[in-house]
Every structure is written in structure tokens, then in C-alpha cells.
Chain A
Amino acid sequence: MKKILVVDDEESIRYLYKEELEEEGFAVEVAKGGEEALEKVPLFKPDLVTLDIKMPGMNGIETLKRIRDLDRQIPIIMCSAYGEYKQDLTTWASDAYIVKCADLTELKTTIRRLLGLV
């Protein structure tokens, strides 16, 4: 079973993603900020990380950099309510950029693609 770490400061989002992705057959672990995510990555060893950008404390872009320092291979999807960060070159270090949407189809498709499940 593939393991996914969902990083988001919004509890309802973490909850929704966990429910939806578990239903899709993934093992889901959540983290409510950058710091927690960095703790959990070595322990949980996720196969993929979804990363919110705008978070209190360490933001998504900084977190992305730190995770890449730990593990260069792990696929990371930036999930943001903002579209602007697409133009920020630092987010290019991620594997995909998705503007948050109630319809999670795009997210799920991207995850499967990145995990080679399609």
C-alpha cells in the first residue's frame, strides 16, 4: 500500500484528503505544518507528499526545500488556494502544482500518475 503524507494547516482539508485518499486505497498520514511534516517524513517514509503553501510557521515553499534536502526522490504535489505561486520558480522543485478545488479528481489523477499507478 502506497503511503501519502498530507500537509495542510486547515483541519477540514486534512480530514477530507485523508478520507478521500484512504478510500482510494492509500495509507494517509497528516501533518498540520511544515515542522510536523519534517518530523514525519523520516518516520512515516511516505511515497508522496501533498503540500499546502500558505501555512503559519514554516510555509510550503520552505517545507518543500527541506523535504528535498532529506529525500530528493519523493514526489511532492503543491496544493494551494493560490495560483500565483505557479510562477514562483521555487515551486518548480515540486512535481506538480494544483489549485485547490472541491472536486478532487485532478488531485487523485495526478497522485496516480506520479506513483506510476496509471
Chain B
Amino acid sequence: MSGHPEAFDLLKSIIHLSNSAIPIKAKLDQMLQTISEAFGSDQCLFLRREKIVENGFLSRVASQTEPFWADKESPFSGEEIHPEEKDLLRPTFACIPLYDETIFQGILYIGFSEKQQLSSQEIDLLVLVAKEMGEAVRNAHLLQKMEQTSSELATLHEMGKVVTSTLKLEELLESIVRTGLKILKAKGGVLRILDRKTKELKVKWSLGDYHENPLDEKIAKRVVFTRTPFLLNHFSKGNPILSIVCAPLLSKEGSFGTLGFYDKETDPSKFDERDFQLLLTMANQMSCAIENAVTHYETSKMVDEHKKRVGQLSILWELNKALLTTVNFERILQITLTAITVGAGLGFNRAMLFMLNERNRSLNGTMAVGPDNAEEAGKIWNYLSQEKEETLSDLIAQILPSSTSNSILNHKVKGIQVPLEQEQCILSRTVLEGKSFNVLFPQVDQEGVRTRCERGCLLSSAASCPIGEHLSRDPTVYSFATVPLRGKGKVIGVILVDNLYNRNLITDEDIQILSMFSSQAGLAIENALLYRNLEEVHQTLKDTQTFLVHQEKMAALGELSATVAHEIRNPLVSIGGFARRLYRTIPDEAPEKRYTQTIMIEVSRMEEILNNLLNYTRDESLVLKEVDLQDILEESLSMVSEKFDEREIELVKEYAEELPKVIGDHQQLKQVFFNLFINAYQAMSGKGRLSLRVHPVSRNGASFIRVEVEDTGSGIDPENLYNIFNPFYSTKESGLGLGLPLIYKIITSHRGQIEVDNHPGEGVTFIITLPVAPLREGKMREVDQ
């Protein structure tokens, strides 16, 4: 370098390079090349600040801020040098420190292998060139900084968009991971949230499969618990670089999750400090948004939960109201099962109720509500979807008493009886263990409940049934659940529900509300049962009262007639007695003889009437023996056969082949049937038919003989029907009307029953049942002396 024009050219080239758009590294290389050529140097270097070792002569040059050179005139004085600097000690060299304002940037070094002189102009030129290079480095730094800032701004912008775009947790998490992936140019990312209850760190969103790496989870845990971000670039021979950045998500209370990314897509595939800073910025920005979204998510979940609870409570309330409207057992069952099946209620497809019979320890199908087949179910849903929304109480008010009883399901369920001891059976277990069961069971046929499974268990409801366990893997599963029906402190039955038609699975929550519901219904059902029993007892009492009133009436009548009869008897004895005396004294030819005789006969007749009357009223002792009813009937018939023949009354007899004997009073029973036959005879004016049927029957475990006496007479006027067993109530022109009351008295004293099957205009059948078994406390007195 000798003259001005060359120096000008060099400066021109350097400035040109400095302003060019090529990257800073290439720019510096070309500048050094140009300088080296212009000065004819052997070596030209730009020594960066960080490359300069401490305690060497270069560091001294840097601190003096002045150019330093060694040449022919002022050779290097052999000052202290660092071993790394040895190569730079050429025969001639110069070092120009570069400053950006006051900050040291590096040193421009130029070295020559020959000893030569460096002129002051040359040094000045080098200072100028170095300044220009410093400017270029500074500009490059500024540009880089600007770019970084703008990319951070872009990140913040992207994140801001994400934060404000949604409150839906899943969408937000997905956007965060996607945006992070884009910004960091990572291959995968994962976002974890700490569960507040379980304190477990759960993957909430991920892209790629890196989160499955156990190392990843370890890092995430460390990050969340130490609240310190983490950067790992792991090199191992033969394997690709493992590069991970992970930052904690921080809230006021501490860290609640982590955001991590994996493997940069650039080469080399590793995250640098800048990525790390970006992630931190991102994590800080996002924490608040995620926290808000989590809170929002939890709040809306809570709201949903509350809504559901309120819904359930209102169902219970509606049901309660409905149950209070009646004490009728059937109605209460209907309300209960309907509430379980309607959409406004619990919404199960079908509900079945089995009541516990404690006496014979069995569960009896009592009622069922639900469609009989899928077609019907479809129709109902279709209908309901067209209807405007109705409340449970509206629906309940519409239930007709007959609506359930006709269904096939109801009939089917009513036929089911499960012995309580069958411990394999879910129904039994529900009662015995007093808890609910939710069972997945293979659907076997469209008809629904099979009444018997292959193990012999009714309803195919055995939970431990191996067939059941095997087939439950079948995709078409039939699921059902049972809950105990509780009365006061005890289980009174079982409710079984299923979703046969829509195949919805029954959740534990369903079971929970069903249990709540059934405990309310249980009390109502128990009350209704008690009420029904009360009604039955009341009816029995009423019957007994009627019977007693009747008996009392009879007793009063008896007493009255006995008094009258006795009062009459004494005068009759006198009249009759003296008439006999007269009769004996009157000559045969005298007409008075006839008069007296008439008095005697009439007195005898009156005495006979009195005897009859007193027979009725007097508690005649029974002469009880084993008697053959057929004999008695035949004897009675023989007493009337003559009369029957006269009027051509047909007699049809039907005796069972083997008739057991009855315990009774032969004479009195004969009287009974004689009276019945005479009654029939009198009822049939003209021709007719008398049918006699005698058969053994059993009722409530006791044996009876049933005697039916049917006539083809005019029947009994319904108006009189209730009085026929009352004494002195005769519709006949002759007679006292004591025949039927006497029959009644004798039959009841034999512990028998008499019933009337009356068909006015067609005839009457009297049905008498007498016990076969020996009477337990009959009046077994001996005959009087």
C-alpha cells in the first residue's frame, strides 16, 4: 500500500461491503480478504471479544484502545504473551482495537511474514477500515436484536390471539401447543396440568408422541415442583440429539402445570437460549389464560352439576307431591314406575317392581312399566318429541289406572317369582345385601327379560354367572340395574330398571338418584300396603259386625217369640185339655162332638207351630256323629219324592264317586235338606227340574263337601234376597217363613256355609258347604236324658 488512490479504493470497497445485504459472517470474511489483498499481508483476522484470552498482549491492546504494531523500526519487544497468541507474533503485524461507542468489540489483526516498515498513513488507513468493520458488526447486532424483538412481538401477538380466541379449555390448550410448536419450530409439544384434588400431573394436550417418554414426565415433574424452567440438549453417540425445553405454568398460588417442546426442526436439532426465552415468555403469558380457562371449565362443570342436582331434586319433589295424592297401593306403584320411566323423570326404558313376601320368603313380580317392544318404544319417543315439554306431575296426572295392566311386560313380570334363598340371583342379593347393583349383561333376545338363565336363575340376573361374564364382552350388551326398595328400616322389595331399547349404559349417578327415589317411593308403598291391610281388616270388621247384628236380631227375635210362645202354650194346654175332656163326655152322635174335635185338632196344630218356633229359637244341642251326607240326602229326598212325582218334577242327581263323611247331626241335616227340597218344590209351579250335585272341595287347605240344590223356579225377587234368612220373612202365602232361617241356623252351627246363586225368572241354586275335618269345638254334648 503506497499511494492515496489505492487507499481510496480500499475504503470504497470496505464501505461498499459494509452496506451490502450479505450476512455479517460473510461480510467480515470478504472485508478481511479485501484488506489482506490491499496490504499484501499473509494473514488478516477479526478477533472477536470472546476469543481474546486474558493476560495476553491482545488484552492489553484492547485495554489501551490505541493501535499497536511491530515492524522493522519498532520490533516486538518480547513482552509477556499467552501461548495461544504465539502464532500471531509475525515479523511485522498490527492490531487495531474496535470500539462501538465505548464497548470493546474485538481486534483487527494484520500480519506479514517479512520484516517491513508500516507507515503512519497505513496505520491510519487500518484504523479507518477497522472503524468501518466495527460499524458493520454493530449494525449486524442491531439488526439481529430488531429481528429478535419483532419475532418476540409476533409471538406475543400470536399468543394474545390464542388467549382471547376462546374460553373453552380444550380449544385453548390445543391452540397453545400448536402456536408454541410453530414459534419454536419444534417437532412435538405437551401441556400438562396438575390435578387439584389428586395432585397428579396429567397430560391435557399433546402433539407428537414424546410425552410417552418416561424421561419427559420426570422433567415435567421436576419443573412443576421446582417452578424452574428447564433446557436439555442431550448428545449421545449413534442417537439423534434429544432436545427438550420445558417451562412451568405459574399462578399466584404456585405452579399448576408445564409447557414443554421437543426436538427442533432445524439443523442442528437443538433449542438455544433464544428459544428458551421465547418459551418463558409464552409460558408466562399463557399461565393466566390457562388458569382462567381451567377455572371457567371447573365452574361450568359445577354449574352443570348443580343444574343436574336441581333437576333431580325437582323430580323427587314432583314424585313426592304425586305420592301424597293417594294411598291406593296400585296407584302408588304406577306413579313410582312411571316416574322412573318417563323422560321428565328418571328416563329409564323399563321399570319392574318385585315385592318381598316375607311369609314364604320370595320376591314376587308385582308391576312393570315400559314398552313391550322396540316398535312401541319408538312410537312413544316419537310422540313425546312432538309433545310440548310436560312436567312429571302433568304426566302422572294423565296415567290411567288401566294403562299398565294390559302390557305384555306387566303380565310377564307378574308371573315371576324368585325364592329369596337363591343367592346367585341379583334380585335376591339386592334384598339380602340391601344394596344396589349395576349389571352389564348380554342381551339374549328382543323380548327382553329372560325368565330363566342356563344356571336356573330367574331373570338371568346372576352377576357371578359365568355365562354372563363371558358374554358381557359382546358389543350388544344388555345392561340393567337393581335397587332395594326400603320401607321403615327394612327392605320391602326390589326395583329393576333397564335401557333395553336405547341401550344407554346405566351410570352410577343414575343408580344414585334411583336409590334416593326408591327410598321415598318405598315409604309410600309401605304406607299404601299398611293402608290396604287396614282396609281389609276394616272390611272384615264390617262383615263381622253385620253378622253380629244379624245374630243379635235373631237372638232378640228368638227371645221375643219364645216369650210369646210360652205365654200362648199355657192357655192352649187348658183349651186343648178341656176340649179333650168335653170330647170324652159328648156322645158320638152329637154335633158338639165334631166341634170339640175341631178345637182339639186346631190346638194340636198350634202346639206344633209353637214347637217349630221354639226349635228355631231354642239352642238345640247337636248330636254330632260322623254321618254320610249321601244317606241323609237320599232320606230327605224320599220324604218329598211323592210330591215331586205328582207334579212331574224331574230329579237330576250327581254324586262324586268318593264322598268323605262329615261330622254333623243327622236329624238336623235331614231337616235342612228336607226344607230345601220343599222350598224348591214350592218355587216351581207346575213342571220343573231339581238338580242335586255333591262334590268334595278344598279351600285354604281344609276339605269340605259342597252340595248344590238347583231348581227351575221363579228365583228370588232381588228385593227379598237379603231377607230370606231372616225369620218370619215369608213370601209364601202359607207358612211362617222359618224354613230358610232354620237351615241357616243349622248350617252355621255345623260350621258350614250357605250361599245363594239367584237368577230371577230362571231359578235358584242353594250352595251348602260343610266341613269334612272333625269340628274342633263343636257343641259335642251328649243327648239329654
State the A residues within 8 Å of B (CB): 10, 12-13, 15-16, 19-20, 54, 81-84, 86-87, 92, 100-104
User: Which of B562, B604, B614 meets A102, CB within 8 Å?
Assistant: B604
Nearest B residue to A54, CB-CB: B566
Closest B residue to A23 using CB positions:
B581
Q: Closest B residue to A82 by CB, please name it.
A: B566
- Structural contact, A16 and B578, CB atoms closer than 8 A: yes
Question: Which residues on the A side are within 8 Å of B784 (C-beta)?
Answer: 86-87
Residue pair A13, B785 in contact (C-beta under 8 Å): no
- Interface readout for B766-784 with A: 1 if CB under 8 Å, 0 if not? 0000000000000000001
Question: Given A101-B576, A104-B580, 7 more contacts at CB 8 Å?
Answer: A20-B577, A82-B562, A87-B621, A87-B784, A100-B569, A102-B575, A102-B607
Cβ contacts under 8 Å, A10 to chain B: 570, 574
B577 A104 Cβ-Cβ under 8 A = yes
Given A12-B571, A102-B573, A103-B576, the answer on whether A19 and B566 have CB atoms closer than 8 Å is no
Determine whether the beta carbon of B566 is less than 8 Å from that of A81: yes
Q: Is B600 an interface residue (CB 8 A)?
A: yes
Give the one of B562, B566, B573, B581 with max A CB within 10 A: B573
Q: Is the CB of B574 within 8 A of A13?
A: yes
Q: Could you show 24 A-B contacts with beta carbons less than 8 Å apart?
A: A12-B574, A13-B570, A13-B574, A16-B574, A16-B577, A16-B581, A19-B581, A20-B577, A20-B581, A54-B566, A81-B570, A82-B566, A86-B784, A87-B621, A87-B784, A92-B785, A100-B569, A102-B572, A102-B573, A102-B574, A102-B575, A102-B576, A102-B580, A102-B600
Give the bracket for the number of chain B residues in contact with chain A: 20 to 34
**Which 7 interchain pairs have the tightest Cβ spacing?**
A102-B576, A12-B574, A81-B569, A16-B577, A81-B566, A100-B573, A102-B603
Contact status B618-A83, CB under 8 Å: yes
Q: Which residues of A contact B579 (CB under 8 A)?
A: 102
**Closest beta carbon of chain B to A16's beta carbon, Å:** 4
**Alpha-carbon distance between A92 and B785 when the two chains are bound, in angstroms:** 9
Residues on A with beta carbons closer than 8 Å to the beta carbon of B573: 13, 16, 81, 100-102
When distances are taken between beta carbons in the complex, the residues of chain A under 8 Å from B603 are: 102
Contacts of A102 in B (CB 8 A): 572-577, 579-580, 600, 603-604, 607
Nearest B-chain residue to A17, judged by Cβ: B577
The answer to whether A84 and B618 touch across the interface, beta carbons within 8 angstroms, is: yes
- C-alpha spacing A30/B571, complex, angstroms: 18
Chain B interface SS verdict (over half): helix
A16 to B581, CA, bound (A): 9
Instruction: Give 1 or 0 for each of B554-586: 1 = CB within 8 Å of chain A CB.
Output: 000000001001100111111111111100000
CA distance A67 to B566 in the complex (A): 25
Q: How far is the CA of A10 from the CA of B785 in the complex (A)?
A: 27
**Residue from the set A20, A87, A92, A102 with the largest chain B CB neighbour count within 10 Å:** A102
Counting chain A CB atoms within 10 Å of each CB, the highest count among B566, B570, B614 belongs to B570
B573: min CB distance to chain A, Å: 5
User: Within 8 Å CB of A87, what residues of B?
Assistant: 621, 784
Expressed in whole angstroms, the Cα–Cα distance for A102 and B579 within the complex equals: 9
CB distance from B783 to the nearest CB of A (A): 11
Chain B residues near A86 (CB-CB < 8 A): 784
B569 nearest CB neighbor, chain A only: A81
B607 to chain A, nearest CB (A): 6
A96 to chain B, nearest CB (A): 9
Q: Mark B380-394, 1 if CB is under 8 A from A, else 0.
A: 000000000000000
Q: What is the bound-complex CA distance between A100 and B607, given in angstroms?
A: 10
Q: Which residue of B lies closest to A92 (CB)?
A: B785
CB of B560 to closest CB in A, whole Å: 15
Residues of B within 8 Å of A54, CB to CB, are 566
Measured between beta carbons, the chain B residues less than 8 angstroms from A81 are 565-566, 569-570, 573
Cα–Cα distance between A62 and B144 once the two chains are bound (Å): 147
Known: A16-B578, A19-B581, A20-B577. A100 touches B614 (CB 8 A): no
Contacts of A13 in B (CB 8 A): 570, 573-574, 577
| Separation of A61 and B693 alpha carbons in the complex (Å) | 50
**Of B569, B574, B579, which is in contact with the most chain A CB atoms at under 10 Å from its CB?**
B574
Residue numbers in B under 8 Å from A16 (CB-CB) = 573-574, 577-578, 581
Q: Mark B404-443, 1 if CB is under 8 A from A, else 0.
A: 0000000000000000000000000000000000000000
B562 neighbours in A (Cβ, 8 Å):
82, 84
From residue A25, how far is it (CB to closest CB) to chain B in Å? 15
Which residues of B sit under 8 angstroms from A15, Cβ to Cβ?
574
A101 B607 Cβ-Cβ under 8 A: yes
Task: Find chain A residues with CB under 8 A from B574 CB.
Answer: 10, 12-13, 15-16, 102
Please, which residues of chain B bring their CB within 8 A of the CB of A101?
A: 573, 576, 607
Report the bound CA distance from A100 to B578 in whole Å: 14
By a CB distance below 8 angstroms, the chain B residues around A92 are: 785
A83 engages B580 (CB within 8 Å): no
Most B CB contacts (10 A, CB to CB) among A12, A20, A81, A86 go to A81
User: What residue in chain A is nearest B781 (Cβ atoms)?
Assistant: A87
Residues of B within 8 A of A100 (CB): 569-570, 573
Nearest-Cβ distance from residue A88 to partner chain B, whole angstroms: 11
Looking at the assembled complex, report how far the CB atom of A72 sits from the nearest CB atom of chain B, in whole angstroms: 19
Closest residue of B by beta carbon distance from A80: B566
In the complex, what distance in Å separates the CA atom of A11 from the CA atom of B603?
19
User: For the complex, what is the distance from the CA of A12 to the CA of B571, rounded to whole Å?
Assistant: 8
**CB proximity of A19 to chain B, nearest CB, Å:** 6
- Report how far A15 CA is from B573 CA in the complex, Å: 11
Residues on B with C-beta less than 8 A from A12 are 570-571, 574, 578
A20: min CB distance to chain B, Å? 7
The residues of A that contact B785 with a CB separation of less than 8 Å are 92
Q: Which residue of A lies closest to B785 (CB)?
A: A92
Give A18 Cβ to nearest chain B Cβ, in Å. 11
Nearest-Cβ distance from residue B563 to partner chain A, whole angstroms: 10
In the complex, A19→B621 CA distance in Å? 36
B586 → A minimal CB distance (Å): 16
A84 to B619, CA, bound (A): 8
B578 cross-chain contacts in A, Cβ below 8 A? 12, 16
* A83 contact set on B, CB distance < 8 A: 614, 618
User: Which residues of chain A come closer than 8 Å to B577, judged between CB atoms?
Assistant: 13, 16, 20, 102, 104
Measured CA separation A101–B603 after assembly (Å): 10
Interface residues of B in 588-616 (CB under 8 A from A): 600, 603-604, 607, 614
CA distance A104 to B604 in the complex (A): 12
CA distance A70 to B99 in the complex (A): 170
State which residues 281-324 of B face A: CB under 8 Å.
none
Residues 328-370 of chain B, each 1 if its beta carbon lies under 8 Å from chain A, else 0: 0000000000000000000000000000000000000000000
The docked-state distance in angstroms from the alpha carbon of A58 to that of B215 is 125
Minimum CB–CB distance from B691 to chain A (whole Å) comes to: 37
A19 to B573, CA, bound (A): 14
Q: How far is the CB of B616 from chain A (nearest CB, A)?
A: 12
Q: Which residues of A contact B607 (CB under 8 A)?
A: 101-102
Whole-angstrom distance between the alpha carbons of A19 and B585 in the complex?
13
Distance from B112 Cβ to chain A, minimum over Cβ atoms (Å): 167
Among B580, B604, B621: residue with most chain A CB under 10 A:
B580
Q: How far is the CA of A87 from the CA of B783 in the complex (A)?
A: 10
Please, which residues of chain B bring their CB within 8 A of the CB of A20?
Answer: 577, 581
